Structure 1
């Protein structure tokens, strides 16, 4: 047993929190009478796990594809440090080639970091790659310590500390991944282990970081929620122990549809860094979507004119055309139809002022002009908008040519059509009804 200011509870049998995680029922949330107070760090940012967790749910990227994604992340960041780091696997020749290609770019951001298991053997991959920081898997819950590692808490911590010390001896910043922290004994394991890490940070005069890993998405954002599921209390306790915000990072999963709000919650309560992957692709239900967290950051910290938000749209196009991503048409921010309206009354509102039905200037910020999908619900206003979006023309919604197209659309649906009218069909009809009088296309 480790004799520390905060005593490790070195129990002989695992605490699986069956009152919170009964397994044969949905997990439970309990609440405290006092809420945690918001404590937003002065600087908050994003890190990326596309090349690590993001590859655990799909075929591996080629080194060249990783390089192109890395270039996109750099283009979006535009030297701001918003996308501060990327983490890479280091085990295969393919992994190491990808690291070498990205290192050759010489970018300041995103910084290249590694990921290893808590073994001295794995640490050799970090030094061979010449990395200045690496993640180290340091599982925190008894589910992992007892049931996976087949150890007791003191044995697990000692093994973790040996590898952390090896990193510090080599001048490498260790980032300890507290796997499954939302099912861990906070007072009996998390804080004693974190306290040991603070001692090493003081001894070596070096940062020792913690990644709070919500491995199964159990974290909840509610200010009054109880441990071990409370994100506000998880972050607050580490801050009160002495960890600066910039040494703390959140890593979540979307098992309960809270992945984005949970990452933002970690920011709000004192964790400077949120770990993401492009379009949320990660193990099982995925990680916080990088593009969503970029926009979340803008809402909390302000829109930064230096950040290339429109490059998010370019990255989405690349992911779909070159990487085989299937992004749902209504997927927020980058889906084909995310800012396309189908309702006629909405189209009429857009014509009067697009702010009525568009959440922000998608054309300016994401290079995605608003659109109208043509169905039986579109109406004359939507047809007018469709024509004006493609041709340099201003036309009344009651113009006979608009009404003629509307009549054709209505006839399609009266004949039991269920699909939307395609762009090719609309463009053909427009040419026909305008009969050679169309101005040049935009």
Structure 2
């Protein structure tokens, strides 16, 4: 089965860095950008050049060293923003300017004090101007998730007419439900003039925990670019998680989509970003969390030992994790204890296991996790002869 390509647009270095306290310097950004390029990311959003001299220099430095991915710079629909972005992207092999404006009633009224016609005019002017510097122009309709579909289609039609090559449909506040967001994408596919000549992109936030679900709904309905971040970091509750959407598409081949991402680099890249930003990955985080492939329940451990597929739908090696973890706790059963004992050199008979297991439970009730050194001690306490 031939799979359609979904491009991965990584905004870890722009939206991801908007997390309070997670500021990166230029050298850290360059290292992460190189890893993203190595991993197969299609577009790297390197920053918002006009926001600070440091951001300008970072975008410029990344533009110089990236060989495969497009390098993208964010702007508002403001000429000075666009000029500065173009200067920062001067050395990029594949430059992209990402410009746009808010389109929801809330943004039009309270943020811009404008009319719908004025918003369309400003969007078109920004795209026309950006097009004088680079060919690849992505237009974002900020707060598209809460924008009336008919007006959104009008804005997008004018953006295509003005020269946009990508249309970004952000759920800026993370408000949409998956079926609602999917229906919005479907409506645009059917009503935007010239839609077949551009790529539709989704940029979903996680305020209600639906960023990944909304992105997948978008792909099913016509999106061919997902905007996401490593570990799902980003403004407020974060963005769509890169590792989640990549592995969802890979684990559901029946959907008919895939990406260019080398998934075996996901875990190491997650740790690189976490350590660089000083932002801990929650242990239960899907795909890359410390507990993503760890099992402590006796029932689960027994099933895992017999056949990994009973409780794991992803081979941990596929995401760069060396192996699943059988974690010994008070909820662990005899099978797990025997498994771990064998790992460290003890081949227990059934009778020996029964004796050792009673000692194990005594210790497990006192400790959160029983480690390999503890197992050695338990065997010693059990007073049984075992060839180690």
After TM superposition, the score normalised by the length of structure 1 is 0.77
Counterpart contact for 2:23–2:277, Cα < 8 Å: no
**CA-based RMSD:** 2.7
In the TM superposition, what is the alpha-carbon distance from 1:259 to its structure 2 partner? 0.9
Match of 2:183 in 1: 233
| Shift in CA distance, 435/149, structure 1 to aligned 2, threshold 3 Å | farther
Other structure's SS at 1:60 match: coil
In the TM superposition, what is the alpha-carbon distance from 1:161 to its structure 2 partner? 1.7
Match of 1:410 in 2: 361
In the TM superposition, what is the alpha-carbon distance from 1:435 to its structure 2 partner? 8.5
Match of 2:328 in 1: 374
Match of 1:124 in 2: 83
Unpaired stretches in structure 1, ≥5 consecutive residues: 1-39, 78-82, 202-206, 223-229
**Within 5 Å, which residues of 2 pair with 1:3-18?**
none
In the TM superposition, what is the alpha-carbon distance from 1:90 to its structure 2 partner? 0.9
**Within 5 Å, which residues of 2 pair with 1:74-223?**
74-77=37-40, 83-87=41-45, 88-91=47-50, 92-109=52-69, 111-129=70-88, 130=90, 132-187=95-150, 189-201=151-163, 207-222=164-179
In the TM superposition, what is the alpha-carbon distance from 1:48 to its structure 2 partner? 0.8
Of 239, 244, 249, 1:287 maps to 239
Aligned equivalents of 2:128 and 2:259: distance in 1?
Answer: 41
Match of 2:205 in 1: 253
| Shift in CA distance, 265/234, structure 1 to aligned 2, threshold 3 Å | same
Match of 1:348 in 2: 302
In the TM superposition, what is the alpha-carbon distance from 1:303 to its structure 2 partner? 9.5
| Shift in CA distance, 94/200, structure 1 to aligned 2, threshold 3 Å | same
Other structure's SS at 1:355 match: helix
Match of 2:7 in 1: 45
Other structure's SS at 2:72 match: strand
After TM superposition, the score normalised by the length of structure 2 is 0.87
| Shift in CA distance, 271/435, structure 1 to aligned 2, threshold 3 Å | same
Figure out how many residues of one structure are paired with residues of the other and give that number: 375
Counterpart contact for 2:186–2:222, Cα < 8 Å: yes
User: Deviation digits for residues 118-148 of structure 1, max 9, x if unmatched?
Assistant: 1001111122122531111311101001111
In the TM superposition, what is the alpha-carbon distance from 1:396 to its structure 2 partner? 4.7
Match of 1:30 in 2: none
Counterpart contact for 2:7–2:42, Cα < 8 Å: yes
Aligned equivalents of 1:395 and 1:143: distance in 2?
Answer: 68
In the TM superposition, what is the alpha-carbon distance from 1:278 to its structure 2 partner? 0.8
Other structure's SS at 1:136 match: strand
In the TM superposition, what is the alpha-carbon distance from 1:366 to its structure 2 partner? 2.8
Aligned equivalents of 1:120 and 1:213: distance in 2?
Answer: 22
| Shift in CA distance, 64/406, structure 1 to aligned 2, threshold 3 Å | farther
In the TM superposition, what is the alpha-carbon distance from 1:334 to its structure 2 partner? 1.2
Aligned equivalents of 1:399 and 1:337: distance in 2?
Answer: 32
User: Deviation digits for residues 318-338 of structure 1, max 9, x if unmatched?
Assistant: 234443221122221111121
In the TM superposition, what is the alpha-carbon distance from 1:269 to its structure 2 partner? 0.5
Unpaired stretches in structure 2, ≥5 consecutive residues: none
Aligned equivalents of 1:146 and 1:310: distance in 2?
Answer: 46
User: Deviation digits for residues 193-214 of structure 1, max 9, x if unmatched?
Assistant: 222223223xxxxx43210010
User: Deviation digits for residues 349-376 of structure 1, max 9, x if unmatched?
Assistant: 2222121122222135533311111111
In the TM superposition, what is the alpha-carbon distance from 1:407 to its structure 2 partner? 2.5
**Within 5 Å, which residues of 2 pair with 1:253-402?**
253-301=205-253, 307-388=261-342, 390-391=343-344, 395-396=347-348, 398=350, 400=352, 402=353
In the TM superposition, what is the alpha-carbon distance from 1:300 to its structure 2 partner? 4.4
Aligned equivalents of 1:252 and 1:261: distance in 2?
Answer: 9
In the TM superposition, what is the alpha-carbon distance from 1:309 to its structure 2 partner? 1.6
User: Deviation digits for residues 31-63 of structure 1, max 9, x if unmatched?
Assistant: xxxxxxxxx993212111111111111321111
Match of 1:225 in 2: none
| Shift in CA distance, 245/271, structure 1 to aligned 2, threshold 3 Å | farther
| Shift in CA distance, 387/166, structure 1 to aligned 2, threshold 3 Å | same
Other structure's SS at 1:182 match: helix
Aligned equivalents of 1:427 and 1:307: distance in 2?
Answer: 42
Counterpart contact for 1:41–1:267, Cα < 8 Å: no
